[in-house]
Structure 1
């Protein structure tokens, strides 16, 4: 079992990231018995759904999925309806409601649009875990405008230790950009980082403040890394392939350099 799942994950790392949903679906059809293991291990672009009770949009992923239904963070109901779907305890549900309000404000400040969702669940050791999701998409009105999407998945665990709590955060960002004005150009990929931190806790709402600070710092760090790795390297490759200056001008510059070197050696 482990070898087969590892082989599927190894294959996914070598397939185009722009077709991750198609590839996951194909592997699930080939090995349906390992669908849960694969879906729980491969990050896919977040899907938008609408809460029928409130009319608000939310994000669907493996963390709010139960079978073929997805739970809304706004109404706490599953779509399609599920009588025995997993939901947080009343105390944790109250924290989930406040967390969704807080990160919805964070989303508006940092992304100026998009959709956010927060889902929490209890752990067997007495702590709790959760996931904070953000999605921002570019929907071009014309073919000359760029298209793309930004998906953030922040999974964390919180364990209280007296007046402090220990947090484990795993953050994944999936980026996709496309331009069709000068030929089909696609830039896509994902990045995952982990961190752990101890923070003081005064009440339940302290968890929102602590996790908000950790997620904010992680997103800033990963944005800078993405800018350096993806955009910086792409710019270097493009500049190496296509010179802004003409070949004739470069040839004259090389000849001038040789003449100067010759005069200096005399």
Structure 2
């Protein structure tokens, strides 16, 4: 278990060359389960770093309700304007901005955004059997960019919980009959239990992967299909890595620390195994 040490302004100012690097270095040494709380502390200690921290650090996605459609949507830095967030369902900010204005995509990009939200709503139901999804797109000079957000939280019992947050940020550069896509995917996973027979366990962390690919494009609908395929493949690879590498390693460590059979029986099996290997070698 990672034991977090006290946050202080002296620690942030210890590296005067780059306070942002100091803050990020501090976050890497704290429990990833508390990353949102720790980012809030850092923003209070160093308000000048707020924007850079929110852009650099991925935190579990927050959920808000669209008052116009009654549907939930996910909040991130890409649909934020001050203390308001744009709903992908109504294209309006919640709560409304004081000046009544905000950055919204062009008509062409908005139509693609609507199609992408419909497509990933089906994807979410098929793969996660619940949860919330949101897609946000915005204009760029040579194409467009966007992010796909997926969140699923479960609480099987009062003493156990788990959450999956995936953040896929991409940009698409239009070319002749093709488009160049660059995708950066982040998965934030948190699992915890406090059962009487098992004790307290906390398994939390995040994973980041990147990929670039050129794909054929016929119309705007092709962009939605291409991005969907890339994200589907990326999530499949990341789920396999989490299951086989990270969970497998944790299982091996726990298996070495705790043995269900008696220690004498385990040692006898190991000795028999070594004897068989030696006999085969001879």
- CA change 1:60–1:244 in 2 (3 A) is same
Of 110, 114, 125 in structure 2, the residue corresponding to residue 93 of structure 1 is 110
2:180 equivalent to 1:163: no
- CA change 1:234–1:75 in 2 (3 A) is same
User: Per-residue displacement from partner, 1:159-187 (whole Å, max 9, x unpaired)?
Assistant: 11010000000000000001221211110
C-alpha distance in structure 1 between counterparts of 2:226 and 2:147, whole Å: 14
Report the TM-score when normalising by structure 2: 0.87
C-alpha distance in structure 2 between counterparts of 1:60 and 1:258, whole Å: 56
- CA change 1:32–1:254 in 2 (3 A) is closer
- CA change 1:194–1:256 in 2 (3 A) is closer
- CA change 1:252–1:150 in 2 (3 A) is closer
2:152 equivalent to 1:140: no
Secondary structure at the counterpart of residue 59 of structure 2: coil
- Output the aligned Cα RMSD: 2.2
Q: Which residue of 1 aligns with 2:253?
A: 237
Post-superposition shift, 1:34?
1.7
C-alpha distance in structure 1 between counterparts of 2:271 and 2:243, whole Å: 37
Q: Which residue of 2 aligns with 1:178?
A: 192
For 1:122-137, what aligned pairs fall within 5 Å after superposition?
122-123=139-140, 125-137=141-153
Post-superposition shift, 1:254?
6.4
Of 63, 83, 92 in structure 2, the residue corresponding to residue 48 of structure 1 is 63
C-alpha distance in structure 2 between counterparts of 1:72 and 1:187, whole Å: 32
User: Per-residue displacement from partner, 1:141-163 (whole Å, max 9, x unpaired)?
Assistant: 443xx310000000000011010
C-alpha distance in structure 2 between counterparts of 1:258 and 1:59, whole Å: 55
Q: Which residue of 2 aligns with 1:36?
A: 51
User: Per-residue displacement from partner, 1:51-73 (whole Å, max 9, x unpaired)?
Assistant: 00000011011111111110100
- CA change 1:237–1:69 in 2 (3 A) is same
Post-superposition shift, 1:33?
1.5
Greater alpha carbon shift after TM alignment, 96-105 vs 250-259: 250-259
Post-superposition shift, 1:140?
2.8
For 1:49-128, what aligned pairs fall within 5 Å after superposition?
49-82=64-97, 83-123=100-140, 125-128=141-144
- CA change 1:212–1:251 in 2 (3 A) is closer
Report the TM-score when normalising by structure 1: 0.92
C-alpha distance in structure 2 between counterparts of 1:57 and 1:239, whole Å: 41
Secondary structure at the counterpart of residue 94 of structure 1: helix
Post-superposition shift, 1:248?
2.9
Secondary structure at the counterpart of residue 203 of structure 2: strand
Post-superposition shift, 1:247?
1.8
- CA change 1:34–1:257 in 2 (3 A) is closer
User: Per-residue displacement from partner, 1:67-107 (whole Å, max 9, x unpaired)?
Assistant: 11101000011111011211111111111011100110111
